[in-house]
Each structure stands twice: as C-alpha cells, then as structure tokens.
Amino acid sequence: MNYTIANSLTNDILSLCILPTEQCNFRCTYCYESFKLKKMQNKTVEAILKLVTQRSAGIKQLNVEWFGGEPLLAQDIVLYLSKKFQELSLKYGFKYTSSMTTNAYLLNKALFQKLLSCGVTSYQISLDGPKEIHDKTRILINKKGTFEKIWTNLLAIRDADGDFQITIRVHYFQKTLDDIKAFTNTLNKSFQDDKRFIIFYRNISNLSNCSSENLSIYENHEEIKTIQSDLNELTDGIETIPTEEENYICYACKANFFIIRADASVSKCTVCLDEDINHIGKLNTNGELELNQDKARLWSIGLQTEEPDHLICPYYNVIKPEVVDKINDIS
C-alpha cells in the first residue's frame, strides 16, 4: 500500500483523463451525465498538448484515459493527441499508456487498428447482457438497440492482430441476473482462451435519478460478493476481475491525476461531474493547470489519513457534507 500511495503522489507520473466531447450517441436509461458540453475546442486540444510537452522532460510515465460522453464522437482529437503523446514518449523516453472507456458502437476494426497504432491499447466496453436485455437499457438517442453493432465490433476486434486488452464490463440487475448467468455461455464460446479479453461483472450503480426500485439493483454488499463470485466461476477460459481489489486507490484520490473536460475545466471525479466541489480548476491556453489547492487537497485527503474508505472513494467517504467537518479537523 505504501508503494501505491507513493505512486499517487509522485511528480514522476502524470495521469490525465481527457473528455474530448461530452456528447454521446447513446441514452442509456440509467446514465447520470447531462451532456451539457459539446466537442472540445482546438485551443483546448493544443493546451493539453502544451501541458504534456512542458512536463515531458520531468516525468517517467504518462497515463492517458479517454472518456466522455462518447470519446469516439471526437475520434479526430483522440487520434491527433494520441499520436503526439506517442511521439513525445519516444523523444523524452517516458513510458506512455493509453486507455479508453467507450460504448464501442463506432469502434470498428479499421478505427481500432488506427487507435492501436498510436498507443491506445486498453479498452472498457459495457454490455447489459444478451441482445434482448441489453437493447432495453443501452439504447441510441433514437431509442434503437445497440447490441448487434457492439457485438459485431467485439468479434472483429477479437480477430485482429496485436497486443491489447479489452475489458468487457457486464452489468447485472436483480431482474436480469438469470439472463446474465446464461450469457456467460456466449462469452465463453466467443472469447475463451484469448488472454486479451477480460470479463468484469458489475452490479449496476444508482448514479442517475432513477429509483432503486426501477433499476432493481442489489444493495447488500455480501450478496453482491456472492453473486460476482458465482458469475466468475461460470466464466470458463477468460480472466475475470475479482470482487474486491487489494490495495485499491480511486483515481480521484491520486494527487497526480486530473480530468480535463471539454470546456478546459479540471475535475477529479467522472461521476459527480456537475458538482462544484469537483471543479478544482482550469487548463489555461499556455498549458498551465490553474488549480484551487484547497479543493484538490480535499480529494486526496486519503493519502494522508491512509483510511481505506477515504482511498477507495473520496467522493462518498470524504467529500459528502456530513464528513467534511471531520476531515477538516485532520487536515
């Protein structure tokens, strides 16, 4: 844990989560995002490049996560910056890793190979189960289903050459659990023994304004652990992610991690995007991060307390008003 905390504090590592657009082609029934912001302007794109360029001589590692909205609606920005980051890593000798959270509707084989060639090698793609279940919740703006397109893209990617990692995040609800258990057979047949694919079974989170009853979510922690263990055992020949990760630290807790939003504002958490406490600063056009240090420190208080709850989720366990006063006493 001490090593993990040290990596969350060091200036040798720079981690950026970039939202090149906050628009999305999906309207998932449980989504919490507002889609208020549009595509990132060129001046912000260039400011990100200046930020990384200025830091390049002094870092040993650059981690870039592409998020949204749906980042592939701004694939020109993703490809442009990814190529530039790759060039900088070769010039200055730092390690460069890049990942993406995408709904994969636009991730055809040709685009995937372009992304792979400029260093975007890790992806998280969500499914809500088989077609008849998925197409009720993960839908396009026009209400049409999305499973067929995503599944076709996943199979095409499976047949591509290259070193990459695809985490298929499979959501389950109370009312769909039996369907998810049956769906493991399809996953096994399609991705068995391909070590580039990982399955992550995830109880759906209530992050939107939907009622828990409408979402039919599981809320008992021990019950969730049992369900995920059972699903992992049903998955044959594919690596699965365990229910609980040892020494886990939330990205938002890390002092060297920043979210660059489409309007050049800087945040820490991808969940509470519109809350004031999450607006910790802005990226200036000269590439400098202008930060509210008091807000930024609050997100990283777990690095001082080393309390597991503070490290696992600073938003729910530190930022929430009922515990802020208590944390202020520590800081």
pLDDT in tens, 42-101: 999 999 999 999 999 999 999 999 999 999 999 999 999 999 999 999 999 999 999 999
* β-pair partners for 255: none
In a domain, 298, yes or no: no
In a domain, 147, yes or no: yes
- Please give the single-letter amino acid code of residue 173: F
- pLDDT tens digits for range 219-245: 888 999 999 999 999 999 999 998 767
What is the value of pTM for the model shown? Answer: 0.93
CATH number of the domain residue 11 falls in: 3.20.20.70
In a domain, 185, yes or no: no
Q: What is the DSSP string of 299-316?
A: HTTHHHH--HHHHH-HII
* Total of domains in the chain: 1
In a domain, 323, yes or no: no
What integer is the mean pLDDT of 99-108?
A: 98
In a domain, 311, yes or no: no
Share of the chain above pLDDT 90, in %: 85
Instruction: Fill in the DSSP letter of residue 155.
Output: H
Alpha helices in the chain (DSSP H): 2-9, 42-55, 75-92, 109-117, 131-137, 147-158, 177-191, 212-215, 221-234, 293-299, 302-305, 308-312, 314, 321-330
In a domain, 95, yes or no: yes
- pLDDT tens digits for range 282-303: 999 999 999 999 999 999 999 9
In a domain, 112, yes or no: yes
pLDDT band at 209 (very low <50, low <70, confident <90, very high): low
Structure tokens at 57: 């001589």
What integer is the mean pLDDT of 125-139?
A: 97
Check residue 213 and give its pLDDT. 47
Domain span holding position 137: 2-177+204-209+244-292
Q: Residue 168 belongs to what H/E stretch?
A: strand 165-172
In a domain, 303, yes or no: no
